[in-house]
Amino acid sequence: ETGVTQSPTHLIKTRGQQVTLRCSSQSGHNTVSWYQQALGQGPQFIFQYYREEENGRGNFPPRFSGLQFPNYSSELNVNALELDDSALYLCASSLGGHTKNIQYFGAGTRLSVL
Amino acid sequence: SQELEQSPQSLIVQEGKNLTINCTSSKTLYGLYWYKQKYGEGLIFLMMLQKGGEEKSHEKITAKLDEKKQQSSLHITASQPSHAGIYLCGADIRNNNDMRFGAGTRLTVKP
């Protein structure tokens, strides 16, 4: 158990819809990173939030957006869903906005876009 | 192409055998992480290596970092069915909080 919780665990949406995924970070952690993992692939970095500010972004379009709240929990929003957005979405929390700090992962949200 | 290449892609070993998984980077490594993932689940942190030549062990798993070769290896001694899963290496190869991962090595341990 990492203390990082994600909700929901599974989600089915149709193309063009919008989705919000949620992540509660481990107690004491102020940084949340989001990843997309397609089947058979390693996780791909979407973005990171550190103390409520975006602190790095991967190669994802603007329709992927996020928020971090004062309690350091975070949301990932995806607009105009495409079939290729079907994946396992993982969040990871850490202490400090740098990859030198160990990231602890949640169990993920499985998103299916039909 | 992947910036972090893992080999082999999959591995099937008999219980009790030793095995090694490799992770090679095309760029300078600023820290190297090893994680284990059960299918469709989150990643479990195993080890972090930050300095060239560093070696860490936990139970029967040992990881080494060869910074000059931009490579890391994960060695499991006397494998058990509980070692089965997908092993992923991750690294910050741009030193900008962008963690990259390899595609993973799927390990099966036959009893």
Q: What is the pLDDT of residue B50?
A: 86
Buried b (16+ CB within 10 A) or exposed e, B30-41: bbbbbbbbeeeb
Contact flag B97-A48 (C-beta cutoff 8 Å): yes
Contact flag A2-B42 (C-beta cutoff 8 Å): yes
How close A62 gets to chain B, by Cα (Å)? 17
Note whether B78 contacts A: Cβ–Cβ < 8 A.
no
Contact flag A42-B48 (C-beta cutoff 8 Å): no
Contact flag B33-A2 (C-beta cutoff 8 Å): no
* Burial bucket for residue A9 (CB in 10 Å: 0-12, 13-18, 19+): exposed
| Residue of A2, A4, A97 with shortest CB distance to B97 | A97
Residue of A nearest to B92 (CA): A99
Cβ atoms within 10 Å, residue B56: 15
Q: What is the pLDDT of residue B2?
A: 66
Q: pLDDT tens digits for chain A (114 residues)?
A: 778 999 999 999 999 999 999 999 998 899 999 999 999 899 999 999 999 999 889 999 999 999 999 999 999 999 999 999 999 999 999 987 676 788 999 999 999 999
Read off the tokens for B64. Answer: 């080494």
How close A4 gets to chain B, by Cα (Å)? 10
Locate the DSSP E strands across B1-111: 4-7, 10-14, 19-25, 32-37, 43-49, 55-58, 61-66, 71-76, 85-92, 99-101, 105-110
Contact flag A55-B97 (C-beta cutoff 8 Å): yes
- Which of A99, A100, A109, A111 to probe the B interface (max B CBs under 10 A)? A99
Contact flag A105-B43 (C-beta cutoff 8 Å): yes
Q: How far apart are CA B5 and CA B59, in angstroms?
A: 25
Q: Per-residue DSSP letters for A7-44?
A: E-SEEEE-TT--EEEEEEPPTT--EEEEEEE-TTS--E
Higher pLDDT, B28 or A90: A90
Question: For B41-93, what is each residue's pLDDT tens digit?
Answer: 899 999 999 888 899 998 999 999 987 888 999 999 999 999 999 999 999 87
